Chains A and B, each alone.
Chain A
Amino acid sequence: MESSKRSNVFISIGSLLLALLFSALLILLLKYSPIEAYGAMFKGAFGSKNSWAATLGTATPLIFAGLAMAISNKAGVFNIGGEGQIVVGAMAAAVAGQYGGGLPKIIHIVICLLAAGIAGGLWAGIAALLKVKMKINEVIVTIMLNYLAVYFVNYLVMNPFKAEGMTARTNYISESAVIPSIIRNTRLNYGIFLAIAVALIFLFILKRTIMGYELRSVGLNPSAAENAGIAAAKYIYIAMFLSGAVAGIGGAVEVLGVHKYYISNMTVKYGYDGIAVSVMGGNSPIGILISAVVFGALKAGASNMNRMTHIPSEFISVLQALVIIFVATPAIVRRGKDRISKGKGKREG
């Protein structure tokens, strides 16, 4: 591994450890036992076949969300709109899944995913348009679009597409649109293979193709890219559209593979979690796969932790926030490493 990659991995692991450490302190302050808490988390994530299924099943949308963030990052755009794009994509899939009941499974699923991808891509495209044409910072725009997506889709769920009965959700999708589970009655479905495939495709495109090369150049130095005949604006559109599309597909997989309908708030915080996953994974596809599993484990374990120790499961958000802070501030981890090695040196010297 090149030394810069090695140091990235070190930083990510170091950040996770630091975050766990600080969280443990917080747990102590709240008068619980960190050992019990982490133990319960571990069991909940890895203790049984069903735990693993929960972990990997939770990781699946996180992979999509993380990849979405990374794609845009490579082009120098901060797509914080994962939340909204996932919602829009999920809704599109929930609607497309209801019609076309007679189609063969593969075709129907592909249509739903396409619908979701286009919906998510266009939603992100709005931010790209504003950025290119009017130079408006995409962070605020995508965050506003997040709220708009949630409320607008809520409206759709409550009115035109509402299912019969008390709950605020859409109708069930047809059987032909369902992505089968890998282990029955768990979240784990074949969508995870799609997620891994997308990650690998992304890796290939980035490192080995002209498109990936031009995309990276735009992200690293748009002036130099322009000078070399690469249209920076074009890539902002492409990156945001793909980013939104991937997020949208992630939302679709949740609908088609897990819930089989769309219900309000079913994808809460996936977008922001995706940012954490991407940051911790160093914005690289393989890193994202790994950190998505880690976060999936944390979330899956959190509900067990809540059951066993009564620590609120929102606690995971705190952990995640700490991870983001530490990963984004490599200087902290590096300074810690320097102190440790200086200490070692003193002892040996």
Chain B
Amino acid sequence: MSRRTEFEFLGRVTIGQYLPTGSTLHRLDPRTKLLVCLLLIAVVVASQSLLGIMLLLGAVLVGLALAHIPLSFALSGLRTMLPYLLLLALLQTFAIPQYAANATVLWRWAMLTITDRSILAGILLIARFSVMVLGLSLFSFSTTTTELTHGIEHLLRPWQKLGLPAHELALTVNIALRFVPIIAEEAERLMKAQASRGADFGRGRNFIQRTRKLLPLLVPLFLVSLRRADNLIEAMEARCYLGGKGRTHLIHLQAHVADYIALAAACALMALVIGLSTANADQLLWRLLSTYL
């Protein structure tokens, strides 16, 4: 692996990685994967129950196994974040007063207090983050960007009748994804050109100086991109691009039985997690355990 110089941006800009293992999960309709991913995000944010989040973690690990993703690879992202994670969990446990009237104080020293609520908050932080990282990584391992944009467009299409510019939004995302490597290439070229003329980026006494030193890179980057945008606009209009009205599509996504099964399973799981959260299952479990132990 050759050492990458500070100029080479193209290699660094990866929006997640796609791992083509050809599993059933990879072959699912991108709409299914997108919907399950959105459900996952919503439920992870909304659920207050540690039990529920642990269930989600288990489900995501099962998903990773189904997609034939090597577990060590998937966990590598979490591993790098482990020290920060612990630091923040400690911060939440110690320094943030959890305004719960009936929280039992476990330990007190000067301004720092630990209540059972705050420990739970710290553990929840770690658990939520883990589920998010593994879930979104699973999504990016199993979906290409093309599939992603097709999925977004198809999903937003029914809303088009209600006035949401679905086609336009999908095209915007498509253009953004397509332009990122172009801009990376452009930035690399600009940086090399400026450096060869003796420009000194990012080294100044205060931040205003550093910003002004970055301007010879940033301003041309924006201007070149805006000029390319102008070219694209002209090209689209020259080919009579009239927007999404009455537009037919080359790719038609077909949902199979596996998609419906996956979606049903995901919905059931999310309903269960939300149910556990609203029924305060954590407290019930705690009471159950404390009577037996």
Decide if A and B are genuine partners: no
